Structure 1
Amino acid sequence: MKLVRILRKATECRKSASISPTRLFSSRQIHSLPPESASFGIAFDIDGVILRGNIPIGGSSRALKRLYDDSGNLRIPYVFLTNGGGVPESKRAAELTKLLGVNILASQVIQGHSPFKQLVQRFENELIIAVGKGEPATVMSEYGFKNVLSVDEYASYFENIDPLAQYKNWTKQLTGNRNSSSREMDTIDDPCSQRVKAVFIVSDSVDWSRDIQVLCDILSTGGLPGREIASQPPLYLANDDLSYQGLFPTERLGMGAFRIALESIFNRIHPNVLKYTSYGKPNPTAFRNAENVLMQVVPSHSSHPENRGQHTFKTLYMIGDNPSVDINGARQAGLHWFSILTRTGVFKGEKNHANHPADLVVDNVEQAVAYILRKEGISS
């Protein structure tokens, strides 16, 4: 009977519509744990939760400072789990540190393309192409890939591969400072005759028309543009987000939209359908990776000696703004993940999301952190 009462109480909590006056919506309650036995971690999305563009939102700076002690040492383990990227994790951590006023380590930043480093052993010495905004080739080189070219660099070797280049008014600088591995490769073999063994979409494409054209050339010819139809090389995407929240009032098309366009065109010109592998949220592996990283954060930052070296969490909190990505992913990751949806990004509804309901809905990340610390019995 006691179990029945507990289950009935949990069901009643899920039916709760709001918690005034802070406009919080909760579909699940968790039991508070005394500080001495608390074992939890937090994963923050960035775009639409912590930042909009490069502007902190939702009291994010104040919220993060609550996770540190008076000396500036981290007392609550947390990571950033974002589908965004385009720069090395160390550079992103430095940018976040400057914008938010807290010390953030590179190990606390998990970007959509971070799992690409797991493929180094397979493609370490092969020619690979990196696509996207920012510094995609630098990202891959830092992961350990030795023969990597950005799509900008690669396209520059092929005359007339982009038939619209003459109509584009913006300038493309081909990173005259190519990494040493690229320079060595140039002296060994001409990229035009060297087979591309894999393509990595590291971040959002800047030039859709050029990139779709070049990728179709690569993927339909077995990695040798201008040649006969052949088997497709592997294609990897850092995420499959259809949209994201930027500075514009409504969402912008993301990497998932680019993938749809590429796939539609490729499937019309190639006898076989496009094959690809997507990483990032809502893939459960992204959340398992975040959990592993949080385990590494605990030993060096936990304020409770008994938690050091502990390799399990009673609760992991995901704070995000995109129901289909952040919330959907957290719900798939396991019952120990507690999802919190903010109204500062993609989601702007008054009530919970119908298809991917979160465990809690709040106005902003500051409210989310306040809720977590209160439920875990952690004083400010």
Structure 2
Amino acid sequence: MTTQFARPAGGSDRPRRLSAAEATRDSINMGPTVVVPPKHLMAPSDASEIATALEAARNQLDAPAPPGTPPTPPETTVTDKYAFAFDIDGVLIRGGRPIPEAVEAMKMLNGQNEHGIKVPYIFLTNGGGKSEAERCVQLSKQMEMEISPGQFICGHTPMREMAEKYGTVLVVGGEGEKCRHVAEGYGFRDVVTPGDIIKDNQDTTPFRKLTADEYKNSRARNFAEVKIEAIFVFADSRDWASDQQIILDLLMSKGGYLGTRSENFDEGPPVYFSHNDVVWSAGHDLTRIGMGALRVSLEAMFKAVTGKDLKTTAFGKPQIGTFQFATRLLQQWRKESHGIDAPPETVYFVGDTPESDIRGTNEYNEHADNSWYSILVQTGVYQKGTKPRFEPKATVDTVLDAVKHGIEREYKKQLRASMVQTGILTECFDL
């Protein structure tokens, strides 16, 4: 089961406008919402139309309206031909602060460009441990612009579609109880954390003791009687040693019961990671290790202890599920905004990590019904002057250059198509 928003009274799907200074997870979850910097609360900004339309489209994906005559698409200044998708860390934000060119890039997409058009955009981030609503509030404050939760696809967003498959699940990573709240918001019925397990038996992790707050917030259970059906790593672990110990205990267990051991080590629950980035760009001058490194470490330890290979599953980029979800969202947006039941013809994905952003975009483009065009920026993981393992369609300095490149490319495509239509050119070829 997934969380479904209540529709506003009167049948309108128009999202509420909520101040970024006052927005909370609970207030956003009350229904479709656009988070607005206080300075734009009384008068919508240039970003309002895109944020509102994508929030409405996302709401339709989560809770489809009853069958009936589809409404007439409203008049809009937003193009339906193409869209942008952005990674966040290393592209828009670095060290918790906006990259200066990112602010200008968003203004350009929201209509401040020589062609006077607006271009739809969404955010695809492998960063986890927070709900889409919380990421929305954070980015709205950082960029000082209107943004809706519907524009966000996190690494663990596609995991919501697995909520009905499993009963009791272990959720790992993140700060405090945030990952538990995210999982419960996705509809997972019984969510366990490492803190719950340590609270039940403090000898589980000899070198980690729960703080007073952790002990208070962890839930009392008798895990001798609890069958854990799956393990989800929603965000980066804050304590690799204890989290890996607990995961290994479950992987070697008999049917997901802690304190038991399988004879062949093949009866434990499956393990899912929200992404597979080995490194990521933070505030430090050098890249930092991420969840992909934890995955590699866990697989190596399982092999060392059991002599067997461990098969795990990762979501996020470059896995196909994230791009499929993004395509469904953009198709729903285009259907509602323009009456066309197909995704935009081209999606420009802007990222800083060749191994996830560029690889995922290129691989998905090979069999997607529309075109996904990869652009690599040099403000994050990728370092200028090195040869990326996975080649992008274009490499630029900053996200502003990426936006300029995409808009100019589309303008040239439309110009050539117009010239073919009027007979000035005899053939329209791709750029």
Whether the aligned pair in 2 keeps the contact of 1:234 and 1:276 (CA below 8 Å) is: yes
Give, in whole Å, the separation in 1 of the partners of 2:78 and 2:228.
54
SS in 2 for 1:165: coil
Structure 1 residue 299: Cα displacement:
4.7
Decide whether aligned partners of structure 1 residues 361 and 158 sit closer, same or farther in structure 2, where only a CA change above 3 A counts: same
Give the gaps of 5 or more residues in structure 1: 1-34
Give, in whole Å, the separation in 2 of the partners of 1:154 and 1:116.
23
Give, in whole Å, the separation in 2 of the partners of 1:154 and 1:308.
51
Given the alignment, which residue of 343, 347, 351 partners 2:382? 347
Aligned to 1:252: 288
Whether the aligned pair in 1 keeps the contact of 2:163 and 2:189 (CA below 8 Å) is: no
Given the alignment, which residue of 111, 115, 125 partners 2:154? 111
Greater RCO, CA 8 A, separation 6+: 1
Question: Are 1:66 and 2:108 an aligned pair?
Answer: yes
Given the alignment, which residue of 359, 368, 374 partners 2:393? 359
Aligned to 2:89: 47
Decide whether aligned partners of structure 1 residues 96 and 36 sit closer, same or farther in structure 2, where only a CA change above 3 A counts: closer
TM-score by length of 1: 0.79
SS in 2 for 1:199: strand
SS in 2 for 1:340: strand
Given the alignment, which residue of 226, 231, 246 partners 2:259? 226
Question: Are 1:129 and 2:192 an aligned pair?
Answer: no
Decide whether aligned partners of structure 1 residues 47 and 362 sit closer, same or farther in structure 2, where only a CA change above 3 A counts: same
Aligned to 2:418: none
**Partner amino acid, structure 1, of 2:351:** G
Give, in whole Å, the separation in 1 of the partners of 2:119 and 2:197.
44
Structure 1 residue 36: Cα displacement:
9.8
Aligned to 1:24: none
Whether the aligned pair in 2 keeps the contact of 1:158 and 1:192 (CA below 8 Å) is: no
Aligned to 1:87: 130
Give, in whole Å, the separation in 1 of the partners of 2:194 and 2:362.
36
Structure 1 residue 334: Cα displacement:
1.4
Give, in whole Å, the separation in 1 of the partners of 2:195 and 2:247.
12
SS in 2 for 1:225: coil
Structure 1 residue 127: Cα displacement:
1.5
Given the alignment, which residue of 152, 174, 193 partners 2:214? 174
Give, in whole Å, the separation in 1 of the partners of 2:141 and 2:78.
32
SS in 2 for 1:160: helix
Given the alignment, which residue of 276, 301, 317 partners 2:312? 276
Whether the aligned pair in 1 keeps the contact of 2:335 and 2:342 (CA below 8 Å) is: no
**Partner amino acid, structure 1, of 2:392:** A
**Partner amino acid, structure 2, of 1:226:** G
Per-residue CA shift, 1:231-263, capped at 9, x if unaligned? 111111101111111111111111111011111
Per-residue CA shift, 1:143-183, capped at 9, x if unaligned? 001210222233221121111125xxx946327456xxx6x
SS in 2 for 1:174: helix
Question: Are 1:157 and 2:200 an aligned pair?
Answer: yes
Aligned to 1:204: 236
TM-score by length of 2: 0.70
Decide whether aligned partners of structure 1 residues 355 and 177 sit closer, same or farther in structure 2, where only a CA change above 3 A counts: closer
Aligned to 1:312: 343
Structure 1 residue 37: Cα displacement:
7.8
Decide whether aligned partners of structure 1 residues 308 and 75 sit closer, same or farther in structure 2, where only a CA change above 3 A counts: farther
Given the alignment, which residue of 167, 179, 182 partners 1:139? 182
Structure 1 residue 370: Cα displacement:
1.7
Whether the aligned pair in 2 keeps the contact of 1:58 and 1:344 (CA below 8 Å) is: no
Give, in whole Å, the separation in 1 of the partners of 2:78 and 2:225.
63
SS in 2 for 1:148: strand
Decide whether aligned partners of structure 1 residues 84 and 341 sit closer, same or farther in structure 2, where only a CA change above 3 A counts: same
Bigger Cα displacement from structure 2, 208-217 vs 147-156: 147-156
Whether the aligned pair in 1 keeps the contact of 2:350 and 2:399 (CA below 8 Å) is: yes
Structure 1 residue 39: Cα displacement:
0.6
Give, in whole Å, the separation in 1 of the partners of 2:257 and 2:288.
33
Bigger Cα displacement from structure 2, 247-256 vs 150-159: 150-159
Give the gaps of 5 or more residues in structure 2: 1-76, 413-431
Structure 1 residue 108: Cα displacement:
0.7
Aligned to 1:29: none
Structure 1 residue 105: Cα displacement:
1.0
Given the alignment, which residue of 358, 363, 370 partners 1:327? 358
State how many pairs are aligned: 322
Bigger Cα displacement from structure 2, 137-146 vs 148-157: 148-157
**Partner amino acid, structure 2, of 1:374:** E
Give, in whole Å, the separation in 2 of the partners of 1:200 and 1:36.
38
Decide whether aligned partners of structure 1 residues 172 and 362 sit closer, same or farther in structure 2, where only a CA change above 3 A counts: farther
Whether the aligned pair in 1 keeps the contact of 2:382 and 2:388 (CA below 8 Å) is: no
Give, in whole Å, the separation in 1 of the partners of 2:123 and 2:195.
29
Aligned to 1:25: none
Whether the aligned pair in 2 keeps the contact of 1:317 and 1:337 (CA below 8 Å) is: yes
